[in-house]
Amino acid sequence: MLDVIASSFTQGTVWAVMAIGIYITFRLLSITDMSAEGVFPLGGAIGAILITNAINPWLATIIAFFGGALAGAVAGWVHTKLKIPPLITGILMQTGLYSINLHVMDGRPNIALLGQETIYSPLEEMFDISKNMSVTIIALIILAVIILLLVFFLHTEIGLALRSTGDNPRMSEANGINTNAMKTLGYMISNGLIALAGAMVAQKDGFADISMGIGTIVIGLAAVVIVEVILPNKSIGVRLTTIILGSFLYRLIIDTILNQPFIDIRPTDLRLFSSLLLGFVLFLPEIQKGVASRQSASRGGNS
């Protein structure tokens, strides 16, 4: 069980980068951005192809972030300038990115990184620690930097304008905020982080695959919603930090289900259980409301 917890925490820290990206569009802008399923493998593809061409892995990872931000800029333009609804925009982006990702990967469905230096390699060699430990430490450092930068940015004038756009677009426009620019900026930050996570996961797993993005939107939403149910009404800084916990809990639940000895469950069933878990978590607030309502009615009847 300890091995499952350790593995879940390692995976949770890496995937938390993607979950924070999902949070920006899902919660701050009230947009469900389906393009994540194309942007995530885009980041993995950019990182992998650059590393196999002898580019420094840190530089390759940073370029992957900007590749995702560029995809986010396109998504923002499609949504704001062409007036296409966010859901359709996301579907168009993930469909188009499939072909772009194949071009980035030079027509190959996957790129192996075995034997290549990654952002995790120096720590392994320097301190003679396991790969999982190295991944966890590097991912936590990257998360700390991301959260600090986001908290600072979201308290600036532009950051507050972005949050205001998500809360009340009409009121924001009435106060002179360019809501289209704020939405596009949100798309860029979100997709940049999602691509960054894709590059990190590819280096952790030792390969980038054209289909590695399938189900990422479910994973990200589950991580966000789980922690919102457990720890509601938190400030932006605390919320971004708690997404790490949500990502870990999601991985722990899924890994526990896959490793339990009672029912034969295959890894191919992972996405089914991910969907079921997200559905349950989304329904949980309604259950809580129902319980609270019955308790209130019971107290009223007793009085």
For the cut 70, the answer to whether the pLDDT of residue 212 exceeds it is yes
- Decide: 229 and 253 in contact? Cβ < 8 Å: no
For the cut 70, the answer to whether the pLDDT of residue 31 exceeds it is yes
| Average pLDDT, rounded, for the chain | 92
Considering the chain, what percentage of its residues have pLDDT values greater than 90? 73
207 phi and psi, to 5 degrees? -165, 155
31 contacts: CB under 8 Å, gap ≥ 6: 25, 79, 86, 166, 183, 186, 187
113 contacts: CB under 8 Å, gap ≥ 6: 48, 51, 52, 202, 203, 206, 207, 208
Would the pTM of this model clear 0.85, i.e. be above it?
Answer: yes
pLDDT, position 209:
96
pLDDT, position 215:
85
Three-class DSSP category at 175: coil
227-270 residue pLDDT tens: 998 888 899 999 999 999 999 999 998 888 888 778 887 777 87
pLDDT band at residue 2 using 50, 70 and 90 as cut-offs: confident
End-to-end CA distance of the chain: 48
pLDDT, position 156:
96
H/E segment holding residue 110: strand 110-112
pLDDT, position 150:
97
pLDDT, position 56:
97
pLDDT band at residue 302 using 50, 70 and 90 as cut-offs: low
pLDDT, position 299:
72
Q: From the CB of residue 175, how many other CB atoms can be counted at a distance below 10 Å? A: 10
Three-class DSSP category at 211: coil
pLDDT, position 69:
98
**Largest CA-CA distance found in the chain, in angstroms, rounded:** 75
- Distance CA(224)–CA(220), nearest Å, equals 6
pLDDT band at residue 303 using 50, 70 and 90 as cut-offs: low
Mean pLDDT over residues 273-297, rounded?
80
pLDDT band at residue 301 using 50, 70 and 90 as cut-offs: low
Mean pLDDT over residues 286-296, rounded?
78
For the cut 80, the answer to whether the pLDDT of residue 189 exceeds it is yes
For the cut 80, the answer to whether the pLDDT of residue 279 exceeds it is yes
For the cut 90, the answer to whether the pLDDT of residue 52 exceeds it is yes
Candidate from 51-65, 66-80, 211-225, 235-249 with smallest mean pLDDT: 211-225
Structure tokens at 68: 């995702």
Q: Provide Rg for the chain, Cα atoms.
A: 20
pLDDT, position 300:
66
CA distances from 105 to 94, 102, 116, 133 (A): 16, 5, 16, 29
The type of residue at 193 is: L
- Distance CA(278)–CA(247), nearest Å, equals 12
